[in-house]
């Protein structure tokens, strides 16, 4: 088993990681505090109202009284509007063009008529409903879930910023436009698409920009301070900290069809060093691997396969850790119902291909061993002083050749996304091949009438991707 060369470019603590145009050179240890330094975490304080202190659970509208009693209230989606506030809402609607949305979806003429009629129930109802529509589209995305093919990301923004609370706060502060504007994605790639939209002339390009701007709304508004994100059609993975790309890696993703890589947002819980691979029955039985392993022990030993035959004749094949293992020398453990994860591969020559939609669904990462070391450090080190010990421990694990689950005390989110127009790893706006034909339903949905009361979760069933045999 090869040892990590801690004096080479994969020695994360010793050498600066490669950079992109969006980030200055930084070593992972520079992201950690010196021992003894503290990192403050801001927490919101409960609101007080006289002797009746209470906090509001923003996800469900529960009110907790000072006594500790929780009262479930049904949030109201209708407020009392002044003419001035409704006029501010009306003035906001034309600005939606800059966000890739269609102002005609939001009944400006009807709102203008209601404003002319003056304050009252009719204005309250129409203005509130229009505000709710705008919140849903700006916060959650305008595309209904049935047009988001294999999009299994559950956006938490509707819980974090519930519609009733936004309406209540906007009317209380009088800042209608500010409340709505605050819902836009904060990622700089959304801003780049927004800027691209201002100069686009070609109708087809404009529609593509709008579709990919909407995809940003399907994700959490803020992805966090540190995360992994991969754009499947770009075949690239980014390790991002504090808005800067620390390192980017080439990837191999799922082939079009049943083994297309789904879109997910999961947490990396551990790094698996020297992984085993339990071969699925579609290969053991369907492709005859079980019989081949049992009948050719010499070949099986060389390939690292071990077979077990039960009393009922059921054959189980497990590929042992080693250089030929189909998962390579590491994988990131991110439990999910699709069995998708990021891993190494012995077929590293495939990273030289332009078209890298070649796997059975999982994501193979070039430089996976370097990524594994980086995640082990950033997931467990409290300060730079912890780095040498982690490096030594991981080096011994890899040398042992034994399956080891190296837990990450600080788990990292990983986002598996699908953008056909986006800023590439060098910060340049690019279009990428729609390898899974997922643009068409989004473009059609943007042209179709707006859908109200949209589902937050997909009704698609998970496609469990279990086989990721190396392709030579």
Domain harbouring 395, CATH code: 2.40.440.10
Residue 124 to residues 80, 114, 165, Cα–Cα distance (Å): 5, 9, 16
Model confidence band, residue 258 (pLDDT cutoffs 50, 70, 90): confident
Residue 101 lies in a domain: yes
Residue 148 has pLDDT above 70, yes or no: yes
CA distance 436 to 44: 43
Three-point CA angle 163, 212, 430, nearest 5°: 150
Instruction: Say yes or no: 378 and 280 in one domain.
Output: yes
Q: Which residues contact 122 (CB under 8 A, 6 or more apart)?
A: 114
CA distance 215 to 193: 11
Residue 3 has pLDDT above 80, yes or no: no
Instruction: Say yes or no: 164 and 261 in one domain.
Output: no
Residue 26 lies in a domain: no
Q: Which pairs from 112-115 meet CB under 8 Å and 24+ separation?
A: 114/86, 115/83, 115/86, 115/87, 115/90
pLDDT digits (tens, 9 = 90+) for 436-453: 999 999 999 999 999 887
Contact call for residues 357 and 395 (beta carbons, < 8 A): no
Mean pLDDT of 196-220: 97
In this prediction, residue 287 carries a pLDDT of 81
| Structure token digits, residue 223 | 């992805």
Instruction: Say yes or no: 156 and 285 in one domain.
Output: no
CA distance 386 to 394: 13
Q: Which residues on adjacent β-strands are paired with residue 66?
A: none
Instruction: Say yes or no: 249 and 398 in one domain.
Output: yes
In this prediction, residue 463 carries a pLDDT of 67
Residue 65 lies in a domain: no
| Structure token digits, residue 233 | 């059609």
Over the chain, what is the mean pLDDT?
A: 84
The H or E element containing residue 269 is: strand 264-273
| Structure token digits, residue 270 | 């551990």
Total domains in the fold of the chain: 2
Model confidence band, residue 67 (pLDDT cutoffs 50, 70, 90): low
Most distant CA atoms of the chain, gap in Å? 88
Contact call for residues 404 and 270 (beta carbons, < 8 A): no
- pTM equals 0.82
Residue 400 lies in a domain: yes
CA distance 413 to 156: 13
Nearest Cα neighbor of 336 from 416, 397, 256, 405 is: 416
Instruction: Say yes or no: 261 and 122 in one domain.
Output: no
Residue 423 has pLDDT above 50, yes or no: yes
Model confidence band, residue 24 (pLDDT cutoffs 50, 70, 90): very low
| Structure token digits, residue 261 | 């890589």
Structural domain including 131 reads 83-215+432-447
DSSP 61: T
Residues counted in the chain: 472
CA distance 91 to 83: 12
Instruction: Say yes or no: 115 and 226 in one domain.
Output: no
Residue 283 lies in a domain: yes
Residue 18 has pLDDT above 70, yes or no: no
Residue 119 to residues 112, 370, 397, Cα–Cα distance (Å): 12, 63, 71
Residue 14 lies in a domain: no
Residue 366 lies in a domain: yes
Instruction: Say yes or no: 314 and 401 in one domain.
Output: yes
Model confidence band, residue 133 (pLDDT cutoffs 50, 70, 90): very high
Instruction: Say yes or no: 321 and 443 in one domain.
Output: no
Phi, psi of 438, deg, nearest 5: -100, -5
CA distance 214 to 83: 31
Instruction: Say yes or no: 177 and 192 in one domain.
Output: yes
Please give, one letter per residue, the 3-state secondary structure of 200-254: CCCHHHHHHHHHHHHHHHCCCCCCCCEEEEEEHHHCEEEEEECCEEEEEEEEEEE
Contact call for residues 417 and 432 (beta carbons, < 8 A): no
Instruction: Say yes or no: 206 and 294 in one domain.
Output: no
Taking the CB of residue 143, how many other CB atoms lie within 10 A of it? 24
Residue 115 has pLDDT above 90, yes or no: yes
Tell me the H-state helices in 307-347.
none
Which parts of 43-202 are beta strand (E)?
A: 55-57, 62-64, 70-71
Instruction: Say yes or no: 353 and 289 in one domain.
Output: yes
Instruction: Say yes or no: 154 and 248 in one domain.
Output: no
CA distance 380 to 376: 6
Residue 264 lies in a domain: yes
């Amino acid at each position: 088993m090869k040892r990590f060369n801690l004096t080479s470019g994969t020695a994360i603590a010793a050498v600066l990681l490669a950079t992109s145009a969006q980030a200055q050179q930084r070593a992972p240890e520079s992201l950690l505090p010196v021992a003894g330094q503290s990192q403050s975490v801001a927490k919101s304080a409960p609101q007080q109202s006289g002797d009746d202190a209470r906090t509001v659970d923003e996800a469900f509208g529960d009110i907790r009284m000072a006594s500790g009693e929780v009262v479930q209230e049904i949030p109201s989606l209708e407020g009392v509007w002044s003419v001035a506030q409704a006029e501010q809402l009306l003035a906001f609607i034309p600005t939606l063009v800059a966000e890739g949305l269609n102002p005609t979806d939001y009944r400006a003429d009807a709102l203008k008529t209601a404003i002319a009629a003056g304050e009252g129930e009719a204005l309250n109802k129409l203005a509130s409903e229009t505000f709710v529509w705008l919140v849903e589209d700006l916060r959650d995305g305008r595309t209904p879930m049935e047009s988001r093919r294999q999009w299994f990301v559950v956006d938490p923004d509707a819980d974090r910023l519930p519609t009733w609370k936004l309406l209540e706060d906007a009317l209380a502060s009088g800042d209608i436009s500010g409340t709505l504007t605050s819902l836009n994605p904060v990622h700089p790639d959304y801003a780049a698409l927004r800027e691209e939209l201002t100069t686009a002339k070609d109708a087809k390009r404009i529609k593509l920009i709008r579709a990919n701007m909407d995809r940003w709304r399907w994700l959490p508004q803020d992805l966090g301070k540190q995360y992994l994100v991969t754009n499947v059609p770009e075949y690239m993975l980014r390790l991002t900290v504090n808005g800067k790309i620390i390192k980017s890696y080439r990837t191999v993703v799922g082939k079009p069809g049943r083994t297309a890589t789904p879109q997910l947002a999961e947490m990396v819980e551990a790094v698996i060093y020297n992984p085993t691979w339990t071969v699925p029955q579609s290969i053991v039985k369907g492709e005859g691997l079980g019989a081949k392993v049992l009948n050719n022990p010499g070949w099986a030993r060389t390939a690292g396969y071990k077979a077990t035959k039960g009393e009922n004749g059921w054959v189980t094949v497990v590929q042992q850790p080693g250089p030929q293992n189909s998962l390579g020398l590491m994988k990131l453990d991110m439990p999910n119902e699709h069995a998708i994860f990021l891993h190494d591969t012995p077929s590293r020559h495939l990273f030289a291909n332009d078209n890298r939609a070649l796997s059975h669904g999982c994501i193979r990462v070039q430089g996976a061993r370097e990524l594994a070391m980086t995640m082990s450090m950033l997931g467990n080190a409290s300060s730079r002083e912890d780095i040498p010990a982690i490096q030594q421990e991981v080096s011994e694990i890899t040398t042992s050749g034994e399956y080891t689950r190296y837990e990450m005390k600080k788990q990292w989110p990983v986002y598996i996304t699908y953008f056909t127009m986006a800023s590439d790893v060098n910060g340049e706006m690019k279009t990428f091949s729609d390898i899974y034909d997922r643009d068409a339903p989004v473009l059609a949905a943007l042209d179709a009438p707006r859908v109200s009361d949209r589902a937050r979760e997909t009704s698609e069933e998970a496609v469990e991707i279990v086989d990721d045999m190396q392709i030579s």
